[in-house]
Amino acid sequence: MQNVTAILKQHTSMKKLPNFDIKPHGEISRAFLRQNILTFHRATEYIQNLSYGRNSNKEDLKSIFIEKKGTCSTKHAVLKQLANENDFKNIQLILGIFKMNPHNTPKVQKTLLENNLKYIPEAHNYLKYENEIFDYTKQNSSSAGFVNDLLFETEIQPNEINNFKIQIHKDYLINWLNENNNINYSLDELWKIREQCIEDLSK
């Protein structure tokens, strides 16, 4: 894990993800090829242009192709798995936690105000290559939307976007609540507020 100072130092130049021809070396690679998507850069464009929405089964990354939607978790996990299957394992899948607030996430303003919160530490997934962040969550997504509010980040694997990610997030929230005694919510109460914020983002 890295603290915010180390994270910010990394964003001084713009790099590009490596491109490669997709080979039929795994089920995710074959799923892209069935969509006539032949290169990794084309795959990132396809994923970024899909609608934002929760998938019915996060354990099955192929659901993205069936449901034509995904979240930051499933969208970046499927790209990381594609990179893995084609031996580009230096492209990292990152779990970052940032201060989700009305400035960087305007749709949550109402919920935060109603609950007297300036922000909630929220987990976000994205790719990283040579210390540069690449965010394909939505069409207009970029690291500029959250990098200044990052609290920490750690590398995970595609099969860790569900229970493992939730546990890291909840552990962080527990520590955050313990360090901020003025916030009088239990973990369960805070998680419900967070869930409402996520619902707000889908509207």
Domain membership flag for residue 33: yes
pLDDT (tens, 9 = 90+) of the chain, 203 residues, equals 444 444 444 443 456 899 999 999 899 999 999 999 999 999 999 999 999 888 999 889 999 999 999 999 999 999 999 999 999 999 999 999 999 999 999 999 999 999 999 999 999 999 999 999 999 998 887 777 788 899 999 999 999 999 999 999 999 999 999 999 999 999 999 999 999 998 898 77
Q: Do residues 166 and 112 both lie within one domain?
A: yes
What confidence score (pLDDT) does residue 15 get?
67
Domain membership flag for residue 153: yes
Query: Which residue range is the domain that position 194 belongs to?
Result: 4-13+91-201
How far apart (Å, rounded) are the C-alpha atoms in residues 129 and 171? 27
Q: Do residues 112 and 193 both lie within one domain?
A: yes
Q: Do residues 135 and 159 both lie within one domain?
A: yes
CA distances from 84 to 22, 31, 81, 102, 189 (A): 11, 14, 5, 36, 38
Domain membership flag for residue 21: no
Which region holds residue 135: left if phi is over 0, alpha if psi is between -120 and 50, else beta? Answer: beta
Domain membership flag for residue 18: no
Domain membership flag for residue 128: yes
Angle between helices 72-85 and 40-49 (to 10 degrees): 170
Q: Do residues 114 and 155 both lie within one domain?
A: yes
How far apart (Å, rounded) are the C-alpha atoms in residues 168 and 82? 24
Token reading at 18: 């490596």
Domain membership flag for residue 185: yes
Domain membership flag for residue 182: yes
What confidence score (pLDDT) does residue 10 get?
42
Q: Do residues 179 and 102 both lie within one domain?
A: yes
- What is the C-alpha radius of gyration for the chain, rounded to an integer number of angstroms? 17
Angle at 21 between CA 133 and CA 90, to 5 degrees: 35
Q: What is the 3-state secondary structure (H, E, C) of 74-94?
A: HHHHHHHHHHHHCCCCCCEEE
Q: Do residues 104 and 40 both lie within one domain?
A: no
Q: Do residues 67 and 132 both lie within one domain?
A: no
Q: Do residues 194 and 104 both lie within one domain?
A: yes
- For 34, the enclosing helix (H) or strand (E) is helix 27-34
Number of folded domains in the chain? Answer: 2
Q: Do residues 125 and 65 both lie within one domain?
A: no
